[in-house]
Amino acid sequence: MNDNYYGMPIERYDSLMEATGPCVRLTEEEMKQGWHFCGDWDDLLIHVDSVEFNHCNCKHMEPFRTEERKKAQEERKAKCNEALDRLAILDEELGLDKLLREMRDDTTL
Ligand SMILES: [Zn+2]
């Protein structure tokens, strides 16, 4: 697996997320790179290139909402939807949707 998350070492990310309270501080460098504890995500530490940033409304993160980044997010969303559509077709072809329905029906008996 990756040993970093949007350029931040996993250990650093984990230690920031494990610690709570006012003692938790991002470095200026990390903030410049686009990290913040997001109120819209229950103070989850998120990066501006992560999917979570799609649903962040923090005013102070406005400078990071560049046209380029918005476009990249849109493209990712489109790719994701395309993948989901393909999966749905595959489900149908393999009969997985029917199988799942049968399994669900079984458990309600
Ligand atoms: Zn936010």
pLDDT tens sequence across 95-107: 988 888 888 888 7
Calculate the dihedral angle through the C-alpha atoms of 32, 60, 27, 18, rounding to the nearest 10 degrees: -120
Q: Which residues surround the ion ligand 1 when the cut-off is CB under 5 Å?
A: 38, 56, 58
> What is the CA(17)–ligand 1 centre distance, in A?
15
> What is the CA(83)–ligand 1 centre distance, in A?
27
> What is the CA(58)–ligand 1 centre distance, in A?
4
**Is 42 a residue whose pLDDT tops 70?**
yes
Supply φ then ψ for residue 49, to 5 degrees.
-100, 5
Domain range summary for the chain, segments of one domain joined by +: 1-64, 66-109
pTM above 0.75, yes or no: no
Token reading at 51? 């999917």
What band does 30 get if pLDDT is binned at 50, 70 and 90?
A: very high
Mean pLDDT of 32-36: 95
Identify the pLDDT of residue 97.
83
Identify the pLDDT of residue 10.
94
